[in-house]
Amino acid sequence: MTNNPFNRGADSASIERLGMDAGLRAHMLRIYNYMGLGVAITGLIAWLIGENPALYAPFFNEVTRKISILGYVAMFAPLVFMLFMGAVSQRSSASTLQGMFWLFCALMGVSMFSVFIIFTGASIANTFFVSAGMFAATSLSGYTTKADLTKFGSFLMMAVIGLIIASIVNIFLNSTMMQFIISGVGVLVFVGLTAYDTQRIKDSYSESYGAESNDKLAILSALQLYLNFVNLFQYMLQFMGSRRN
């Protein structure tokens, strides 16, 4: 039997591809683990505050059933911190960035305490599992699809900005119909963003970046998917959540 140099080249390419696939799978698993733990931290803190009047009293007036000024500060604190995190991410180490990610998830938990005051525990759980199923299916679709989703990126980001502006306006208008429309659009937007971001994260990975850079990339990618899931959950809650009496 003679050695075929073309076969050796094919074998080498196959081995290299297998190594790439293994590295990518490990990278994606690390991202989903970060994201899952971040969601757990957020949920635990939100539940602890929402179930303890002594903890939520500074943020929520139980007599008037209105959020206080401090409560609104808590609501917008994660957004400010996320912008700060993005600004310093390039010059921060992976361990520092990871610490900031856990802190951000904790701040999100503080900002979401009212979920456990407004909605019943059963409806929160049901909404969570439905949202998790939607997220998993959409993320898998984004990972496996051969279609190029990058063309939707600009449109989706414009839609997110529109949702933020509309939500801020509706804080003052307090319109039920407007909230219903915002929630419906929000579900569609963050389902689309989940598929788009998953494909983008998959395509951005490279073993040549090195361990430190890929660790930072995993944390920032986990943050993006985390935000998609949390927003999807909150918008779905407007449809599936049962309010407490």
- Higher per-residue pLDDT: 3 or 128: 128
Cα distance between residue 63 and residue 160, in whole Å: 34
**Contact yes or no for 185/159 (Cβ under 8 A):** yes
**Given this model, what pLDDT does residue 92 score?**
93
Q: What does the pLDDT look like over 34-56, one tens digit per residue?
A: 999 999 999 999 999 999 999 99
**Given this model, what pLDDT does residue 111 score?**
94
The CA R_g of the chain, rounded to the nearest whole Å, is 21
- Higher per-residue pLDDT: 53 or 14: 53
**Given this model, what pLDDT does residue 6 score?**
44
Confidence of residue 223 (pLDDT cuts 50, 70, 90): very high
**Given this model, what pLDDT does residue 3 score?**
56
Q: What does the pLDDT look like over 146-193, one tens digit per residue?
A: 999 998 989 999 999 999 899 889 988 889 899 999 999 999 999 999
Confidence of residue 9 (pLDDT cuts 50, 70, 90): low
**Given this model, what pLDDT does residue 63 score?**
75
Q: What does the pLDDT look like over 104-153, one tens digit per residue?
A: 999 999 999 999 998 999 999 999 999 999 999 999 999 999 999 998 98
pLDDT (mean) for 204-225: 91
Q: What does the pLDDT look like over 57-93, one tens digit per residue?
A: 998 887 777 888 888 888 889 989 999 998 999 899 9
The domains of the chain are located at: 5-240
- Higher per-residue pLDDT: 21 or 42: 42
pTM above 0.75, yes or no: yes
**Given this model, what pLDDT does residue 116 score?**
93
**Contact yes or no for 100/214 (Cβ under 8 A):** no
Q: Which residues contact 60 (CB under 8 A, 6 or more apart)?
A: 66, 67, 68, 71, 113, 114, 117
Cα distance between residue 159 and residue 200, in whole Å: 18
**Given this model, what pLDDT does residue 237 score?**
96
**Given this model, what pLDDT does residue 71 score?**
87
**Given this model, what pLDDT does residue 1 score?**
47
Max Cα–Cα distance, the chain, nearest Å: 88
Residue with tokens 């007599």: 63
**Residue by residue, what is the 3-state secondary structure of the chain?**
CCCCHHHHHHHHHHHHHHHHHHHHHHHHHHHHHHHHHHHHHHHHHHHHHHCCHHHHCCCEECCCCEECHHHHHHHHHHHHHHHHHHHHHHHCCHHHHHHHHHHHHHHHHHHCCCHHHHECHHHHHHHHHHHHHHHHHHHHHHHHCCCCCHHHHHHHHHHHHHHHHHHHHHHHHCCHHHHHHHHHHHHHHHHHHHHHHHHHHHHHCCHHHCHHHHHHHHHHHHHHHHHHHHHHHHHHHHHHCCECC
